[in-house]
Amino acid sequence: MRKGRRRHDEEHEEHVNHEAWVIPYADMLTLLMGLFLVLWAIGNEDLEKMRQFSASFASEVGISSPFTGGEGLLEGSAAAAEATTTTVAPAPPSIEREAREALRREEALQEAAAEASRQLDRAEDVIREHAAGQGVAGALSFRREERGLVVSIVSDDVLFAPGSAELRSDGSRALDAVAAALRSLDNQIAIEGHTDDRPISSSKFPSNWELSTARAGAVLRYLVDHHGLPPGRMTAAGYAEQRPVGANAPPEGRAQNRRVDVAVLSKVGGREERQ
């Protein structure tokens, strides 16, 4: 009887020992899966999928999901919060206000530049129309520069005789055509005399500097005296042969360089673009 009882006790102990390892093994699997969830949560940007997977796993193993409340593995973790949630702080009101004001200023500047360009277009049309009526359209040429509209009037047989700064009658008619447009504008006007590279030396004009400056001054005086343009809006300067528009070697290039430029300076943002 004693032997039979000892054998029964041994069989019972052996049965108990065989099942005891399952509990720590299941705990280890649970911990491993929890660790996997933590690592996966840190590296995964799709928070919704992560929550769904976490809830499904938690329901299978009977633990609380770290994303549905309770004492989960990620509960209270600052690192996890930073990994899953990004909060962008709104810009301070002062910065937003400054940005809006800067945008309004830029839009106003662009509109002013567009209006200034339209004014110069109209001025060119008026000059062309009056020059055609005066029969001197061939003496004028036009070009746009960053500073504004430049009207070039050739000197030869139009404005001046060679080596002279006295206006000819044809030159007066050409300036009349230009003045008709300038009267309707309040832009600053720069009058610039130019020559070719052939030197001049006389008692009145020792060099091309004096000749080009005297021609620019003669044009300015004509516009002020005969057309009443405000002298405060006008400047005159001579550049001799320093700013050619054509090559000085061929005769036609030298003829282009002997000119007087009337530059109507553009307005941008309420101020003229100076040279």
Please give the Cα distance from 86 to 256 (Å, whole number): 68
- b/e per residue 38-77 (b: at least 16 CB within 10 A): beebeeeeeeeebbebbeebbeeeebebbbeeeebbbeeb
Architecture of the domain whose range is 113-272: 2-Layer Sandwich (3.30)
What letter represents residue 34's amino acid? G
Domain-wise residue ranges, the chain: 2-84, 113-272
Highest mean pLDDT among 78-82, 206-210, 251-255: 206-210
Q: What is the pLDDT of residues 242-273, one digit of tens each?
A: 999 999 999 999 999 999 999 999 887 444 44
Containing 272, the helix (H) or strand (E) segment is strand 271-272
CA dihedral 214, 215, 218, 222 (to 10 degrees): -170
Q: What is the pLDDT of residues 162-199, one digit of tens each?
A: 999 999 988 999 999 999 899 988 999 999 999 999 99
DSSP code at position 156? B
What letter represents residue 7's amino acid? R
Residue where the block lists tokens 């030159």: 171
Whether the Cβ atoms of residue 177 and residue 262 lie closer than 8 Å to each other: no
Contacts of 220 (CB under 8 A, 6+ apart): 191, 231, 234, 236
Quick one: what percent of the chain has pLDDT higher than 70? 70
pTM to 2 decimal places: 0.62
Q: What is the pLDDT of residues 123-154, one digit of tens each?
A: 999 999 999 998 989 999 999 999 999 999 99
Q: What is the pLDDT of residue 80?
A: 47
